[in-house]
Chain A
Amino acid sequence: MRNLAITLWLFAAAAFAQQGNLDVDSPAITQLKSSMAERHRALEPYYNSGVVGLARDGTVALRDPATVPLAQRQAVSKLVATENEDRAALYREITRINGNPAWETDIRATFAQRWIDRAPAGWWVQSATGAWQKK
C-alpha cells in the first residue's frame, strides 16, 4: 500500500501543478514524499478502521480513537501529529519554492480535495460542512 500513498501523492501533485505554473518538485519535497509514503504503512490500518480520517484542511485527523486501546492512543496521536507536520512542511515548501507564502491556503485546499477524491472506499473523509462521511 506504499504505492497507494505515492499514487495519492502523484494525483494531488499533478492536480496542483495543473492549477498554474507551479513548481512541486524539490529535494525537500522528495524527502517528504518518501517519509509520508513510509508512514502510510503505519497509518493505513487506522484509515481502514476509521480511527483516522482525511480532513478538509489537508491534514489527517483522529476521527474515532475510541476503538484504540488506551496504551496505544499516544502512539496513534503521535503518528497523526507527525504526519500533519510533514503535510504542513509540504505545503510550506511548495509556497517557499514558488516564492509566494500567500498561496498556502489554496495549496492546502487543493491537496485536501484531491486526497479526499482519491481515497479508497471505506475511508472516512470530511465534507465541506465539516461532517465526516464514509466513502
Chain B
Amino acid sequence: MLAMLAAALSVHAQSISLSVDTIHHPAFDAEGIRVDINPFDHGIGDIFIKRLRSSSTEVHDLHLHCDGFRLSDNHIECPQGLLHSGKQPPIKLSFSYVFSSRVLNFTLRDVDLAHLQTLGSGILPYGASGRADLTLVAGSNHADLKLVLRGVAFNSPDGNHAGDGIAAQLTAVADRHGDGWAWQARLEWPQGELYWAPWYRKAGIRGEASGTLNSRTLDISLFRLTLDKVGSVTAALNWDRLLGKPMRWGFVTDEIDLSSAVDEWVQPWLDQLAIPKLHASGHTRLSGEWADGRLQSFFVGLENATLADGNGYLEFSAINASVPWLWNADTRAEIAVGAGRWGELPLGGFNIPATLHGDNVRMQDVSIPLLDGRLYVDRFHATRPEADWRWNFSGGIEAVSLPKISAALKIPPLSGTLTARVPDATYERSIFSLGGAMVIDVFDGRITARNLQVIEPMSRRQRFLANVEMRRLDLGMLTRTFSFGSITGRLDGEVKSLELQGWKPLSFDARFASSPGDYPRTISRGALQDISAIGGAAGAAAVKASPVSFFNTFGYDRIGIGCKLKDKVCTLEGIEPDGKGYVLVKGSGIPAVKMIGYNRNIDWNLLVTRIQAVIAGKSKAVIE
C-alpha cells in the first residue's frame, strides 16, 4: 500500500522535488523518501531514502542516481541506476514500479557482494564476497526471482561456516496465497566448496523446493535435494520467522550409497567424537523427524551392508537391518548379520532383535556362532539417564574348542574348550567392566581372569585391564605346544595389574612357578637351553649341572620366574636369590641341575623376540 502521509511538491528554477514520508509494500517499508527530478536534463533523477526495511534487513541513507528516470502518475522507472551508500563504489541496478498494479521490477547486475555488504548489517551473512545478478518481478499476487552467484566466498567469525568459489543459481516463483505466498524454487550448485562444520562438500548439489511464506512462518513442504555420488533426500521444514528458529523438520532419503554417506557425512561427525574410523559399504535408507525441541523419530535401514572398524579388526557383512525409533513409544528393531570376523576368528550369521524406546535399548537372547561354539548375550540394556550412555549385559562364550581357535589364530595348537560366563558386565563413565570371572580350562588346568575392564572402549585408545590367575597347568602339554624343550610338572601363575593397549602389554606384575604338591618333575636339556637363550647371549643365565654332559633330563624341586613390566622394561626375578643372581631352576636328586639368572632388566620387545625365536627353534644357547 502506498501511503502519502505528507507530500510536498516544489518547483524550482531547474528541478522538481517530491517528498514522501512512507511507502508500505508487502516486501518492504521505505521512509524519508525524496525524489529530485531535473526535467531539463533528459531524465536525470535522484532518489534519497532515509530508511529502507525488509523482513530481515534495514539500511539507511541511500542515494540512488538514475539516468533515463521517468515518473508519471502511474509509474516510476529507473532503467540505469547507481546506488550510493557512504564512500563505497556504487551498485548498478534498475527498477520500475507501477502504482496501479503495484508491480515492482528490480534488477541488480554483476553486483559485488562486498559492496552490497556495506549497505547495512544483515544483508549478507558472514562477510560474503563474490558477484551476483538478481532479477525480481514482484506484484500483488505473483513474484518471480532469479539469483545467480559467481565466485562467492564467506567465512563465519568462528570459521565453522565457510564457502569459497561458489557458483550457484536460485530461481523461484511465488503466488499470493491467503495472507502469504505459495512458492516453488530450484537450486543448482555446480561449482565451489562449502565447509559447514564438521562437514565439507565440493559442489554437486541440486535441489527443488516448494512451500508457503507469510509474515509468521516459512514452510518448506517439500524439499528434494540430490547430492552427486551419494543420492537424494526429501525434506520438510517449518521455520518461525519471528523466533528465528525451526519449529519442526523431517527428512527421508532414497536408497543411498552407504560408503559415500559414511565418508562424507558420518565420519566427520565421528571424528569430532574421536571415534575410530568406520568403513562401510552397501546401501542405506534413513529418515528422521524433529519437533517440539527434540528428535521425535528416526529410521535406519541397511541393505546388504558391510561395516568394519578402521583397523579391520571387527567386521560384519551382509547386514540387513530395519531400525525404527520413536521418542515416546516402543519400537522393534531387526538386525540380521550374514557373517562377521573378530580379528582372525570367523563369526557366523546371527540376528539381533532389539526393543527401543527413547533413551533405552534392550536386547535379549542373541547368539553369535564362533567356530564350533558361540558368543551369546542373554540380556542387554543401554540407557542414558544423563549426558552419557550406560549399559549392562550378561552373556558369555560357550564351548569353543581351543584347537579350532589356535588354528584360526595360527598359533601352536591348544587343547581344551573355551567356556566363559559373564554374569553382569557394565559400561559407565567410559569404563566397561566384566563382573565375575572369566574361566578357561586349558592344558589340563584352569586360567581365571578377574577384574576385567576395558577403559574407553569406544576410543582408539582403549585399554584392557585384568588380573589373571593360572592353576596347575600341565607343563608337559604346555612345552610340547610351544616347542619349548620338555618340562613335566604343573605350573601356577599370577599376572597382576595386567594392562594392554592394542593387545600389547603396557604393564603387569607376573610370577610363574611350579605348583605345590606331589607330581613328577623333570626338565630336559632342551628346555634348559631355551630358558638360557631367553636370558640372552650376555650370559644372563648360568647352568650348574653335575655331571651335566651325560644326561638329557634332570629332576627339579622348583622352577619359577617373575617379570614386572614397566616402561617397556621387564624386571626379572626367580624363585629365590642366589648371590648377585636369582634361581630359575632349583634341582633335585641326581643328576641335579640349577639355573641362575643374572640379568635383572631386559627390554620387553627384546624378550618377546627371544621367546619367539626359541619357540621357532632358532636359539643358539649351549649347555656344556
Q: Which residues of A contact B (CB under 8 A)?
A: 26-28, 30-32, 35, 62, 64-66, 68, 70-71, 73-74, 77-78, 81-82, 84-86, 89, 92-93, 96, 101
Query: Known: A27-B507, A85-B459. Is A66-B159 also a contact (CB below 8 A)?
Result: yes
Q: Give 7 closest A-B pairs by Cβ, nearest first.
A: A65-B159, A27-B506, A85-B274, A27-B507, A66-B159, A78-B271, A70-B195
6 contacts between A and B (CB under 8 A): A27-B566, A28-B501, A31-B501, A31-B506, A66-B156, A89-B456
Q: Is the CB of A65 within 8 A of B271?
A: no
Task: List residues of chain A with CB within 8 A of the CB of B156.
Answer: 66
Residue of A64, A77, A92 touching B198 (CB-CB under 8 A): A77
CA distance A64 to B194 in the complex (A): 17
Q: Are A73 and B461 in contact (CB under 8 A)?
A: no
B160 cross-chain contacts in A, Cβ below 8 A:
65
Task: Give complex CA distance A84, B274 in Å.
Answer: 9
Chain B residues with CB under 8 A of A84: 274
Q: Which residues of A contact B163 (CB under 8 A)?
A: 70
B200 near A71: Cβ-Cβ < 8 Å: yes
- Indicate whether B499 reaches chain A with its CB closer than 8 angstroms: yes
Interface contact B461-A30, CB-CB below 8 Å: no
B461 touches A86 (CB 8 A): yes
Distance of A78 Cα from B403 Cα, bound (Å)? 43
What 0/1 readout, one digit per residue, does chain B (177-220) give for beta carbons within 8 Å of chain A?
Answer: 00000000000000001110111100000000000000000000
A74 CB contact (under 8 Å) in B198, B429, B456: B198
Instruction: Assess whether A70 is in contact with B200, with CB atoms less than 8 Å apart.
Output: yes
Bound Cα distance A113, B306 (Å): 46
How far, in Å, is B76 (CB) from chain A's closest CB?
43
Residue B292, interface by CB 8 Å: no
Tell whether, in the assembled complex, residue A81 and residue B155 are in contact, meaning their CB atoms are under 8 Å apart. no
Which one of A65, A82, A101 contacts B274 once the chains associate, using CB atoms below 8 Å?
A82
Q: In the docked arrangement, what's the CA distance between A66 and B157, Å?
A: 8
A89 to chain B, nearest CB (A): 6
B residues near A (Cβ < 8 Å) are: 155-160, 162-164, 193-195, 197-200, 268, 271-274, 429-430, 455-456, 459, 461, 463, 499, 501, 506-507, 566-567
> CA of A93 to CA of B160 in the docked complex: distance in angstroms?
31
CB distance B461 to A74 under 8 Å? no
Closest B residue by C-beta to A65: B159
Please tell me if the beta carbons of B271 and A28 are within 8 angstroms of each other in the complex.
no
Pair B162/A28 contact, Cβ less than 8 Å? no
CA–CA, A103 and B193, complex, Å: 45
Chain B residues contacting A30 (CB-CB under 8 Å) are: 506, 567
Q: Chain A's nearest CB lies how many Å from the CB of B153? A: 9
Q: Which residues of B contact A92 (CB under 8 A)?
A: 430, 456
Q: How far is the CA of A73 from the CA of B268 in the complex (A)?
A: 11
Cβ contact within 8 Å between B197 and A73: yes
Interfacial chain B residues near A73, Cβ < 8 Å: 159, 162, 195, 197, 200
Question: Please, how many angstroms separate the alpha-carbon atoms of A24 and B225 in the complex?
Answer: 52
Minimal Cβ-Cβ distance residue in A for B456: A89
A93 to B459, CA, bound (A): 14
Query: A89 with B459: in contact, given A74-B195, A77-B272 (CB under 8 Å)?
Result: yes
In contact, A81 and B274 (Cβ under 8 angstroms): yes
Chain B residues near A81 (CB-CB < 8 A): 271-274
Rounded to whole Å, the gap between the CB of A86 and the closest CB of chain B is 7
Residues of A within 8 A of B268 (CB): 74
Q: Most chain-B CB neighbours within 10 Å: which of A35, A66, A70, A86?
A: A70
- Residues of B near A74 (CB, < 8 A) are 195, 198-200, 268, 271
The residue in chain A whose Cβ has the minimal distance to the Cβ of B566 is A27
State whether B197 touches A28 (Cβ < 8 A): no
Chain A residue numbers with a CB within 8 Å of B271 are: 74, 77-78, 81
Q: In the complex, what's the smallest C-beta–C-beta distance from A98 to chain B, in angstroms?
A: 15
Give chain B residues whose Cβ lies under 8 Å from the Cβ of A89. 456, 459, 461
CA distance A96 to B159 in the complex (A): 36
- Measured between beta carbons, the chain A residues less than 8 angstroms from B499 are 27-28
In Å, the complex CA distance between A32 and B198 comes to 25
Cross-chain contact B198 with A70 (CB below 8 angstroms): no
Could you say which residues of chain A place their CB within 8 Å of the CB of B157? 66
In the assembled complex, which residues on chain B have CB atoms less than 8 Å from the CB atom of A26?
Answer: 507
A107 → chain B closest CB, angstroms: 15
Whether A62 touches B159, Cβ cut-off 8 Å, given contacts A27-B499, A28-B455, A30-B567, is yes
Asked if B272 and A66 make an inter-chain contact with CB atoms under 8 angstroms apart, the answer reads no
A50 shortest CB reach to chain B, Å: 11
Given A66-B162, A70-B200, A101-B429, 10 other A-B residues pairs in contact with their CB atoms under 8 A: A27-B501, A27-B507, A32-B461, A35-B461, A62-B158, A70-B194, A73-B162, A77-B198, A82-B274, A89-B456
Q: In the complex, what residues of B have CB within 8 A of residue A35's CB?
A: 461
Q: For residue A68, which residue of chain B has the nearest CB? A: B159
Give the complex CA separation of A73 and B160 in angstroms.
9
Contact partners of A31 in chain B: CB under 8 A = 461, 501, 506
For residue A29, give the distance in angstroms from its CB to the closest CB of chain B: 10
Closest Cβ of chain B: how far from A41's Cβ, in Å?
19
Tell me, in angstroms, the Cα distance from A81 to B461 when the chains sit together: 13
Measured in the bound complex, the distance between the Cα atoms of B461 and A30 in whole Å is 13
Which residues of the partner chain B approach A70 to less than 8 Å between Cβ atoms?
A: 162-164, 193-195, 200
Distance to closest chain B CB from A47 (angstroms):
16
Contacts of A62 in B (CB 8 A): 158-159
B153's nearest neighbour on chain A, judged by CB, is A70
Q: Which residues of B contact A71 (CB under 8 A)?
A: 193, 200
CA distance in complex: A26, B463 (Å): 12
Bound form: Cα–Cα A31–B567 in Å: 9
Q: Tell me the nearest residue of chain B to A70, going by C-beta.
A: B195
CB distance from B429 to the nearest CB of A (A): 7
CA distance A93 to B463 in the complex (A): 11
Distance (Å) between the CB of B587 and the closest chain A CB?
37
Residues of chain A contacted by B273 (CB below 8 angstroms): 81
In the assembled complex, how far is the CB of residue B603 from the closest CB belonging to chain A, in whole angstroms? 15
**Which of B162, B501, B567 has the most C-beta atoms of chain A within 10 angstroms of its own C-beta?**
B162
- Compute how far the CA of A71 lies from the CA of B163 in the bound complex, rounded to whole angstroms: 10
Q: Which residues on the A side are within 8 Å of B461 (C-beta)? A: 31-32, 35, 85-86, 89
Least Cβ–Cβ distance between B363 and chain A, in angstroms: 28
Query: How far is the CB of B310 from the nearest CB of chain A, in Å?
Result: 13
Contacts of A78 in B (CB 8 A): 271-272
Nearest chain A residue, comparing its CB with the CB of B268: A74
